Amino acid sequence: MNWIIYAVACVFLYGTMHFFIKLASVNSNPVASSVFFVAAQFTAQLVLGAYFISKNGLVVDYANIKYSLFGGIVAGIATILFFLALQQAPISKVVPIVNLNVVVGVALGVILLNETMNLRIAAGVVFAMMSIYMLTNSG
């Protein structure tokens, strides 16, 4: 399947996820809600992962497992902080700021992975940062 289909599906799924996290964070303990979120996410990943592995076979690069583990730890911490932020602020302000993670990802890719930075990508980063400012300071 084309990577763009996966990416566009992620846009809709992550957007929907943010909405449900906001609902789970209001009038409850956001840390407890994040634990249930991660448990449900883990279950869904196991089921879907088992499906893809059954179709494609299990191919693991054991030398790179550490990156998955570090990424999981970082994601767990970020998830708790996201729930806490949504408990205290509107989704319309929190989600745009959190999605500035795109800039961090691009910067790490360029700096550490020697990925290409061209004028178009740089302009996209600038526009992303401008949109965050506009979305979070709109009254």
Q: Largest Cα–Cα distance of the chain, in whole Å? A: 51
Domain boundaries, the chain: 3-89, 100-139
* pTM score, whole prediction: 0.82
Q: Nearest 5°: phi and psi at 117?
A: -115, 120
Gap between the Cα atoms of 65 and 75, Å rounded: 15
Would the CA dihedral through 7, 8, 11, 17 be positive or negative?
A: negative
Task: Break the chain down into helix, strand, coil percent, rounded to 5.
Answer: 85, 0, 15
Query: Which DSSP state fits 62?
Result: G
Q: Over its length of 139 residues, how does the chain's per-residue pLDDT go in tens digits?
A: 688 998 899 989 999 999 999 999 988 899 999 999 999 999 999 999 999 899 888 888 888 899 989 999 999 999 999 999 999 999 988 988 898 888 898 889 999 999 998 999 899 889 888 888 887 776 5
Encoded tokens for 76: 């767990």
Would the CA dihedral through 77, 73, 129, 3 be positive or negative?
A: negative
